Amino acid sequence: MNQNRSSEIVHLVPVILSGGSGSRLWPLSREAYPKHLIPLFDQKTLFQETLLRLKNIRHQDPVVVCNEKHRFMVAEQMRTIGVTPQSIILEPVARNTAPAVAVAALQALKTDPDAILLIQPADHVFKQCEVLRKAITDACLLANSGKLVTFGIAPNAAHTGYGYIRRGQSLGGSYTVDSFVEKPDRKLAKQYLSSGEYYWNSGILVCRADRYLQEFHCHQSESYSFAKQSIDQAVDDLDFLRLDPKAFSKCEDISFDYAIMEHTQDAVVIPLDAGWNDVGSWSSLAEVFPHDDDGNVIQGDVVTLGVTNSYLHSQGRLLAAIGLDGYVVVETSDALLVAPKESTQSVKKIVTQLRKNHRNEHLHHLTQYRPWGEHELLIDKAGFQVRRVIIRPGMAIDRQIHQFRTEHWIVVKGEATIMVGNTKHLVKQNESFFVEKGQIHQISNVTDKHLEFIEVQVGECIKEDDIERFRYDNHQEQEYCLSPDNTVGK
């Protein structure tokens, strides 16, 4: 890398947009557990892979913009791969990518007035990371001259699920942007593919932070003011930066493509052929995995007979399929999806229907993750509920009281430290403990091994309405607490 290229990279700030409603890969993804936070391919998630693919490029600590409900998963996943964030910015409400990038730009400029943003969604896959890294280096040079640079993916099919970019004048390795085009129908997509003038829109942007804000202020002046106000009035909360909710909610719900890229005179596209996939549907995900001799992708406990060109995924139970061709079948503990591959773009409509019917399957899995560990719902009947609970070493569930239910705990692994009022109890493996209605209690794991226990709740109310939570009076002690909206805070 020559000196000019190196000097630009010094100012590079990765901005990871970690939003998502968990609808495209339902039922595996949920609102509380979107696809980029799920380990789809190996032990690492798409979010972690997005951060790690930049390890060979010199850059500053990343800025992450995420949903408040996902904050502890984001922080924990960064910690486990050894990545320290510059900021984790919490959006009180979703307002699409334009306001999210604006607050990230404002935050980055606090520490570097020459910051160059590398804005990436957290849920994309690149098979050829070296090709991507070279394109990022080239984009930084263009960005420093005032350009807003996006990557155009060389299309290999007439895909109707992507937006398109039409290239303009050649700049030698890059092009001016002639136009952005929305998702076309099949006939138009075929015309785009045969013309050779169009690229899939990757959703990645490289630009100076100050240039982005100039354009945002020019084309979205009101939203710019509200975004700036939300940062100016933001509050530090442990490792997170909480935007002012009143101000940020007034920003227009709009993408940076609509807000800026379709209007600026400085948009540039760099063609990129790096094995990109946005994992935007089950059929797209199936393209990433190796196929067997019958054209199938099979994951989990699956038995097939006469099945071809299909994606079969089982999380737990045996999945048996006969005579399918070109289907997606996904099994989880509480839902089963069966759909032709060409219809998987419509999975979001199923999620919308679940939401309208006031069901819970779009919100979370039977297993839910917390900063202190996880809990899995085993039985949920009128008057009682059974859960398997795991508390990580050194962690604790918040102190609480229930007025309408009792709780029975049976330790199956590890050792529990239980406080009832001011009395401490140690409960070991194969021992049990009973908490009556109206008792203030807390269960902790002070050991260096995981604590696992079965919890049986019995009573007339076993919902979140019957939980009153408490904080320590001694602020030198720390705990993780569940807030009234059932999210987890410290």
In angstroms, the Cα distances linking 15 to 32, 415, 428, 449 are 22, 41, 46, 35
Q: Are 395 and 404 in contact (CB under 8 A)?
A: no
End-to-end alpha carbon distance in the chain:
44
The mean pLDDT of 322-339, rounded to a whole number, is 96
With 80 as the cut, is the pLDDT of residue 338 above it? Answer: yes
Does 132 lie in the same domain as 20? yes
Q: What pLDDT is recorded for position 7?
A: 55
Q: What pLDDT is recorded for position 365?
A: 85
Does 47 lie in the same domain as 78? yes
Work out the number of other CB atoms within 10 angstroms of the CB of residue 305. Answer: 9
Say which range, 4-18, 47-61, 187-201, 459-473, has the weakest mean pLDDT: 459-473
> Dihedral sign, CA of 229, 232, 233, 236?
positive
Q: How far apart are CA 58 and CA 206, in angstroms?
A: 15
In angstroms, the Cα distances linking 187 to 166, 183, 365 are 17, 12, 39
The mean pLDDT of 336-348, rounded to a whole number, is 93
> Is position 285 within any domain?
no
Please say which residue of 217, 249, 277 terminates a domain. Answer: 277
Q: How far apart are CA 164 and CA 190, in angstroms?
A: 12
CA nearest neighbour of 391 among 343, 297, 470, 454? 454
CA nearest neighbour of 348 among 39, 123, 27? 27
pLDDT tens digits along 416-438: 999 999 999 999 999 999 999 99
> Is position 145 within any domain?
yes
Half-sphere exposure of 489 (CA within 13 A, CB side): 14
Q: What pLDDT is recorded for position 56?
A: 84
pLDDT tens digits along 170-205: 998 999 999 998 888 889 999 999 998 999 999 999
Does 171 lie in the same domain as 314? no
CA nearest neighbour of 374 among 470, 469, 451, 471? 451
487 band by pLDDT with thresholds 50, 70 and 90: very low
Does 348 lie in the same domain as 391? no
> Dihedral sign, CA of 131, 133, 134, 140?
positive
pLDDT tens digits along 225-281: 999 999 999 999 888 999 999 999 999 999 999 999 999 999 999 999 999 999 989
Q: What pLDDT is recorded for position 479?
A: 36
Q: What pLDDT is recorded for position 6?
A: 52
Distance of alpha carbon 446 from the chain centroid: 30
Q: Which amino acid is at 93?
A: V
> Is position 120 within any domain?
yes
Does 371 lie in the same domain as 343? no
> Is position 467 within any domain?
yes
pLDDT tens digits along 68-119: 889 988 998 999 999 999 999 999 999 999 999 999 999 999 999 999 999 9
Does 326 lie in the same domain as 257? no
209: containing domain: 3-277
Please list, residue by residue across 364-382, b when 16 or more beta carbons sit within 10 angstroms of its beta carbon and e when fewer do: bbbbbbbbbbbbebeeeee
Does 152 lie in the same domain as 260? yes
Number of domains comprising the chain: 3
Q: Where residue 94 sits, what CATH number does that domain have?
A: 3.90.550.10
Please say which residue of 219, 253, 277 terminates a domain. Answer: 277
How many helices and strands, by DSSP H and E, does the chain display? 12, 32
Q: How far apart are CA 292 and CA 309, in angstroms?
A: 9
> Is position 284 within any domain?
no
Q: How far apart are CA 278 and CA 162, in angstroms?
A: 9
Location of structure tokens 């039922």: 27
Answer with the residue of higher pLDDT: 227 or 19: 227
**Mean per-residue pLDDT of the chain:** 90
- For residue 323, what are its two tokens? 């005579």
Does 468 lie in the same domain as 445? yes
With 70 as the cut, is the pLDDT of residue 5 above it? Answer: no
Q: H-type helices in 37-90, by residue range?
A: 46-52, 71-80
> Is position 60 within any domain?
yes
Does 319 lie in the same domain as 207? no
> Is position 283 within any domain?
no
Does 131 lie in the same domain as 24? yes
- Burial class of residue 474, CB neighbours in 10 A (0-12, 13-18, 19+): exposed
Please say which residue of 277, 304, 335 terminates a domain. Answer: 277
> Is position 42 within any domain?
yes
Does 160 lie in the same domain as 99? yes
- For residue 102, what are its two tokens? 């604006």
Does 299 lie in the same domain as 268? no
**Residue 479, φ and ψ in degrees, nearest 5:** -150, 160
Q: How far apart are CA 209 and CA 213, in angstroms?
A: 6
